Structure 1
Amino acid sequence: MSRKGIKPFANESDCLQIGGITIENRVDRVSIFGSIDITRDKEGLAAAREMKTILELTLTELESADLPDKVTLRPAKTVKNPFE
């Protein structure tokens, strides 16, 4: 598990942000969207390492599974906002 606490494909609730990149966890996919500048400084290095960690964890999960040729993605479920 990464320091941010995401385990790819483990649940339908984990989500984290690295700069402008959002990574959402699902049991049938990991969605990565947004934009980030990897700057040539310590912040850029930290962001690149975190992204690398997430991708390595995702690869490990995929490589250790008996994968079908293609999955049919399940649509997202809408839930009531608990803060309303």
Structure 2
Amino acid sequence: MARRKIDPTFSPYTDETAVRTIGTLSIENGTSRIALHGSLDITRDRAGLRQARALKSVLDAIVTALAADDLPEAVAEEGEASETVKNPFA
């Protein structure tokens, strides 16, 4: 697995390696999609406000990037290439 860099500025759809982490929520950048993994508890305190603002900043950047492009109706699904290998136990 490739090591991912944590990018506090997070420029959506520009690379396949940047990850923004807010709490235990990871937002993984990609050139055709952005993946969200984990969870985020936004508490009613200053820490929760910081996390909500960080999440809003990332989502605003994503929306801005999407709105700036002439988008297709849907992104084609990328299938993983498979390779048949000889059974080492046979």
Tell me the distance in 2 between the aligned counterparts of 1:13 and 1:66: 24
Tell me the distance in 2 between the aligned counterparts of 1:75 and 1:44: 38
Larger Cα Rg: Structure 1 or Structure 2? Answer: 2
Code of the residue aligned with 2:65 in structure 1: it is E
Q: How many matched pairs?
A: 74
Aligned structure 1 segments of 4 or more residues deviating by more than 3 angstroms? 73-76
Which structure carries more relative contact order (alpha carbon 8 Å, separation 6+)?
Answer: 1
Tell me the distance in 1 between the aligned counterparts of 2:62 and 2:20: 14
- 1:1-84 residue pairs with structure 2 within 5 A? 4-74=8-78
| Structure 1 contact 10–25 (Cα < 8 Å) conserved | yes
TM-score (norm 2): 0.76
Deviations 1:40-59 (A, max 9, x none): 11110000000000000000
